[in-house]
Structure formats: C-alpha cells, structure tokens
C-alpha cells in the first residue's frame, strides 16, 4: 500500500491542532506549577523553617521571656507537613456572625477563587459592621462583641505554647532581603526603629513572640486537639506598633476537625491583644499606645480579588513604601470598608472592637496604606510581585 500523503489543507489543520494541544498542555502545566508554588509560598514562614520536631517549651507568659530557654520555632512538624500537602481548600468564608467569622491567615484567606462580584459586597458589608462597632462605646456594645479572654494564662490553659525563633529576623526566604527592606523602609518613614537582624536582639524595643498550638487541652470537660496553628508577631510597645509576620489558624491547620473541637481561643486578634498587654507590662507602657498594625506578605484569593479594587491598580504594579497607595474615603467608603472587611483587615477591626477596655473606647482605623512586599523589586516568579504589605493606622 502506498504511503498516505495528506493534502496540504488537511496537513495544516493537523499541524494547527497539534500546536493548539501543545499550548493547552503547556498552559495547564504552568497553572499546576503556579499552584504548587503558591502552596509552598503560603506555607513558607517569614521565620526560619526546618525539619526538626516542634520544640516542647514549658509554657510561659511573655512577661517571663527573659527567663525562657530559647528554642527554635519549627513550622514544619509532621502534622503541619501532612496538612500542607493536603489539597483540601480551607473554608474561611463562612457566614457565621461576629467573632466567629474572623479569619486573618497571613498566607491564605481561603476564598477558593469565588466570584469577585459576590466577594466584594460581602467584604464591604463586614467592614461596614466593624466600622460601626468601632464607633460604638464599650458600654453600649452587645456582650457578644466583647472578648471573653483576659489573661495569657488562658493561652496555656488551651494548649498554646510560647517559643522564640533564634534567627531573630524575617527568616530564610528566597526574597527575604527585599521583604526586610520593605518593612524597614516603612518603619523608617514612621520614625520607628528597624527590626533587628541579629538573633534575640531586642534593640529598638522590639520583641518577637511566637505562639504555637502544639498541645492538646481539656477545659470544662471538652477536649481540644493540638492543631499546629501558629501566630508570630513582632511587638514594640514603646513605638506603638505590632507587625503580624506569620499566621495560620487552627481551622486552616486542621480542616478535618469539627468546629466544636477547634480551640476556642485561637483568633489572631485575641492572642495578639493578650500578648500586647503583657508586653506593655514588661515595658511599663499603656496598652493604649498602640498606633499601628502592619500585616506583611498578604496572599490568598480574597486578597487578590479585593485589594486591586480597593487601590484601583493591580497588585504587581505596587512599588515601595515611598509610593504606597493610601485607601481613599476612610473609614466609610466602600473601598475602606472592603479593606477592613477582608480577612486581614477583619482581624485588625476585631482587635479594636473586642478589646475596647484595653485600646480605647471608640478608636477607629483612620488610614490604610498598601505597598509591595518586595519593596518594589520585581521577582522572576510573578507570584511574589503580587503580594502586598498593609499598614493600618489608628485614630
């Protein structure tokens, strides 16, 4: 049988089909690689990450940090590895009200890529509620809006343990230098000492505190399993600032647990407020000195959908702090409400709303600035160019 010779038209069609298939396969591979990179980026700590077991540290109050044996913070225990490798999409977009729907994970807000047209009004509505609650006097606030937590001893009671990272800086990360420059440039403009780079250096009034939920607890007959959740912040009471460096909630770490088994004392706002109170006691400062909260390396689907609408530009167009975008119409415009209502902003809002006795009766967020976490340096991996920092300034 003579060989089959394709007609030129048919040959061109087959060539086009093969080329199209190649483009589709390449695109799918790129999407897969980007997703895997995103997962690794979300799990990468701004603090040092290694493969040693999670340190067992005798729980202490931050007021006893000077007597605490320094131990490494390991965010890659076998439990965390197993969950980090899971394809389960954490659900942080529940319709629960008030403090139950607070979710301020630093790496991911777990929106699951929802419709921006649905996400925007939801975040605006949440922000609107928080703004009104900020303006409400503590004496007029409903009990459900007040925190039930008032002591760092409760953190120990519910299985949280205190540890310190011996690296003392923002950690081993592919673009760690740019990230530190981005944070320190903002601090410099605010007249605040830069973050120390040496291990355990507390110069400039800075103290790094890492809470790890590494121990099972039983309270009032209810057992709460250890989740591996962590909250790592930098505190500077003398300068009135908290930097949220790395946060992963119990719900994100253990999506397999039913809600009634998740540790009830687990929100960033509550743990941060309790720690701030102890740090202020150490430094003989009033808790009301708090002027700023900075969230760094903000990522996730909701952030990716909401923030470009808030600042009227794409996230990869952001530059250094010198060119930071200020959110317009604070605090009552839809853009301002969305910046307060999306997960990271919501945590800041609850910090002021639920802890009025600590921070002040009707304190509000007066200004929000957004800039690039790489200090405007463009990275080869495009994902890193779309990760902002945000500074919330208080009245």
Q: Which long-range contacts (CB under 8 A, 24 or more apart) does 311-314 make?
A: 311/335, 311/370, 314/386
Domain assignment present for 3: no
Taking alpha carbons only, the member of 372, 395, 381, 380 closest to residue 186 is 372
Containing structural domain, residue 70: 44-394
Residue 340 CA to residue 293 CA, distance in Å, equals 12
Distances in whole angstroms, Cα of residue 227 to Cα of each of 103, 249, 269, 362: 16, 9, 18, 35
Q: How does 297-309 read in b/e, with b if 16+ C-beta sit within 10 Å?
A: bbbbbbbbbbbbb
Tell me whether residue 317 is in a domain: yes
16 inside domain: no
Instruction: Tell me the pLDDT of the chain (395 aa) as tens digits.
Output: 554 444 444 544 555 554 555 555 555 655 555 554 444 444 433 333 333 333 333 444 444 443 333 233 333 333 223 222 332 222 333 333 344 445 444 443 333 334 555 689 999 999 999 999 999 999 999 999 999 999 999 999 999 998 755 444 454 455 567 788 899 999 999 999 999 877 567 789 999 999 999 999 999 999 999 999 999 999 999 999 999 999 999 999 999 999 999 999 999 999 999 999 999 999 999 999 999 999 999 988 889 999 999 999 999 999 999 999 999 999 999 999 999 999 999 999 999 999 999 999 999 999 999 999 987 776 656 667 889 999 999 99
Residue recorded with tokens 């899971």 = 86
* 9 falls within a domain: no
The pairing of beta strand 241-248 with beta strand 292-295: parallel
Token pair for 122: 């939801």
Rg (CA), the chain: 23
Q: What is the pTM of this model?
A: 0.74
**Cα-based distances in Å from 27 to 14, 140, 304:** 20, 55, 21
Distance CA 345, CA 351 (A): 10
Closest CA to 346 of 166, 125, 58: 125
CA–CA distance, 123 with 144 (Å, rounded to integer): 20
Beta-carbon neighbour count of residue 243 at 10 Å? 25
pLDDT value of position 35: 54
Give domain status of residue 358, yes or no: yes
Residue 20 resides in a domain? no
Instruction: Return d(Cα 355, Cα 286) in angstroms, integer.
Output: 14
Residue 34 falls inside a structural domain:
no
Residues 263 and 46: beta-carbon distance below 8 Å? no
So what's the pLDDT on residue 375? 75
Q: What is the pLDDT of residue 8?
A: 46
- In terms of Cα–Cα distance, which of 164, 169, 168, 107 is closest to 296? 107
Structural domain total, the chain: 1
Cα maximum dimension of the chain:
96
Specify which residues 244 forms β-bridges with. 233, 295
pLDDT at residue number 322: 95
pLDDT attached to residue 299: 87
In eight-state DSSP terms, residue 323 is: G
- Cα separation, 94 vs 91, in Å, equals 7
In a domain, 304, yes or no: yes
pLDDT at 158: 98
């Amino acid at each position: 049988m003579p060989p089959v010779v394709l007609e030129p038209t048919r040959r061109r069609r087959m060539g086009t089909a093969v080329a199209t298939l190649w483009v589709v396969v390449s695109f799918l591979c790129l999407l897969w690689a980007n997703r895997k990179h995103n997962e690794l980026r979300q799990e990468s700590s701004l603090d040092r990450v290694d493969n040693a077991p999670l340190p067992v540290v005798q729980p202490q109050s931050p007021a006893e940090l000077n007597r605490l044996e320094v131990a490494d913070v390991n965010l890659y225990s076998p439990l965390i590895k197993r969950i980090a490798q899971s394809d389960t999409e954490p659900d942080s977009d529940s319709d629960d009200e008030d403090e139950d729907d607070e979710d301020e994970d630093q790496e991911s807000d777990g929106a699951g890529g929802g419709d921006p047209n649905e996400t925007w009004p939801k975040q605006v509505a949440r922000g609107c509620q928080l703004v009104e609650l900020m303006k409400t006097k503590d004496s007029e606030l409903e009990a459900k809006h007040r925190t039930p937590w008032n002591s760092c001893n409760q953190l120990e009671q519910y299985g949280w343990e205190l540890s310190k990272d011996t690296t003392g800086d923002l950690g081993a990360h592919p673009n760690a230098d740019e990230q530190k420059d981005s944070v320190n440039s903002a601090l410099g403009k605010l007249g605040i000492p830069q973050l120390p780079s040496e291990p355990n250096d507390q110069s400039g009034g800075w103290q790094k505190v890492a809470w790890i939920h590494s121990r099972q607890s039983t309270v009032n007959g209810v057992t709460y399993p250890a989740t591996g959740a962590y909250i790592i912040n930098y505190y500077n009471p003398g300068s009135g600032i908290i930097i949220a460096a790395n946060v992963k909630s119990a719900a994100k770490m253990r999506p397999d647990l039913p809600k009634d088994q998740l540790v009830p004392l687990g929100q960033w706002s509550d743990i941060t407020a309790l720690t701030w109170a102890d740090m202020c006691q150490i430094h003989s400062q009033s808790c009301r000195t708090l002027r700023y909260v900075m969230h760094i390396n903000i990522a996730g689907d909701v952030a990716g959908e909401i923030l470009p609408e808030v600042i009227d530009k794409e996230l990869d167009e952001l530059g250094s702090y010198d060119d930071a975008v200020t959110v317009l119409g604070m605090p009552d415009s839809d853009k301002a409400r969305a910046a307060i209502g999306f997960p990271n902003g919501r945590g800041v809002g609850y910090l002021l709303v639920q802890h009025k006795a600590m921070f002040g009766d009707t304190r509000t967020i007066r200004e929000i600035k957004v800039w690039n976490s790489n200090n405007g340096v463009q990275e080869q991996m495009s994902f890193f160019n779309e990760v902002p920092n945000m500074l919330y300034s208080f009245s």
